[in-house]
Amino acid sequence: MVNDEVVGERILTLEGVNNFRDYGDYAVAGGGRVKRGVLWRSGQHVMASDGDLDLIAALGLTTVTDLRGDSERQLNPCRRHASFSAQVFTCEGETAALASHVDAGAGVVTEADARGAMSRLYTEMPYRPNLVTVYRRHFAALAEGDGVNLIHCFAGKDRTGVAVALTHHVLGVHPDDAMADYLLTNQAMAGRDFQGRASGDASRYAQMDEAASRALRGVSPEFLEAAFTAMHASHGSLDAYLADVLGVDAALQERIRRALVAK
């Protein structure tokens, strides 16, 4: 469980951007810690206020990886500060038919339906071709070092959650800490609605009970574990998945660690 002090240190509370937080500053295997203030994750920025943009600009972002597909970016274009100069990595095509949690909501009525749908989503998400493309760009950017990186999708919890968990694995963050960071979404999003539009969102949620809606809108250990189980089943290990699917072999992993771990 992440305590309130840690939550306050990690989460950048913004008016119009959800789940904006630092996923660095964890201890790593072999000694050292992930650098602080250089790895950020969030939801989309379509409803960012002017004050939000000022706070984001102060972070000095150099790269932004936007995991959303073409239609999501067109429906919810990110607002940018006048001084914004970061390189933005995207892909052509779709990485989800809608936002991932909305994708999973088709036909869901009960909480059990929702949890099953989310687990199935996570099982196949690491193999979506367009998502793989932009995941590869994320890791290549991290290997360059000397920058401040942000990765986001619609809500900053599913596509982003898998990417961040894999990044933590590469960096040598303990699995318990990586899972705690993943679950921090539930605290970062407490009392907040998703910001921006996802086609069909309202009508789908109206058909299900509150527990099912919460399951779709939050994260649970079983979801991330479903993704990892799929990677192990198809490739034998997370490292083999990273190398074979994302091109993150041992040499690139070492470059990423050199760039982002402080001894």
Helix (H) or strand (E) holding 34: strand 33-34
CA–CA distance from 24 to each of 27, 28, 37, 150 (Å)? Answer: 9, 10, 7, 11
Q: Which of 153, 171, 208, 259 is catalytic?
A: 153
Helix (H) or strand (E) holding 135: helix 129-144
Q: Cβ–Cβ contacts within 10 Å for residue 5, how many? A: 8
Beta-bridged to residue 33, according to DSSP, are 27, 262
In angstroms, the CA 108 to CA 57 distance is 39
N residues, the chain: 263
Instruction: Judge contact between 10 and 21, C-beta under 8 A.
Output: yes
In angstroms, the CA 114 to CA 122 distance is 12
In angstroms, the CA 262 to CA 179 distance is 21
153 is known as an active-site residue = yes
65: DSSP letter? E
Strands 21-22 and 39-42: antiparallel
Catalytic residue annotation: 153
